[in-house]
Amino acid sequence: KAGVTQTPRYLIKTRGQQVTLSCSPISGHRSVSWYQQTPGQGLQFLFEYFSETQRNKGNFPGRFSGRQFSNSRSEMNVSTLELGDSALYLCASSFRETQYFGPGTRLLVL
């Protein structure tokens, strides 16, 4: 079975721009979660989608948003980028409780 895929793998943006990241889950997985990983804060939960509905949300500002499509693929969007948004953004999919992670999208905000 193919694993979780994320596109793009690398992105460079400037402050004030917006960005959209994409995630394709493992076939048959209906839950998709997003995490932000930084050296200072570690891995932090952003939000989770299940059957196109947001099921849980972490403590991030409203600039961070996401959605899920009927084929379980998910996108997350960050608007009005700040320098502190530079991070590795990880997507994880799950069938039951165990989450399987993709390779991540490395975002650099200049």
Partner 1 sequence: EDQVTQSPEALRLQEGESSSLNCSYTVSGLRGLFWYRQDPGKGPEFLFTLYSAGEEKEKERLKATLTKKESFLHITAPKPEDSATYLCAVQARAAAGNKLTFGGGTRVLVKP
Binding site for partner 1 (CB under 8 A): 4, 31, 33, 35, 42-45, 48, 50, 55-56, 58, 90, 92, 94, 97-104, 106
Q: Please tell me the distance from the alpha carbon of residue 46 to that of residue 57, in angstroms, as a whole number.
A: 6
Least distance (Å) from partner 1 to the CB of residue 42?
5
Is the Cβ of residue 9 or residue 15 nearer to partner 1 in the bound state?
A: 9
Is the Cβ of residue 11 or residue 58 nearer to partner 1 in the bound state?
A: 58
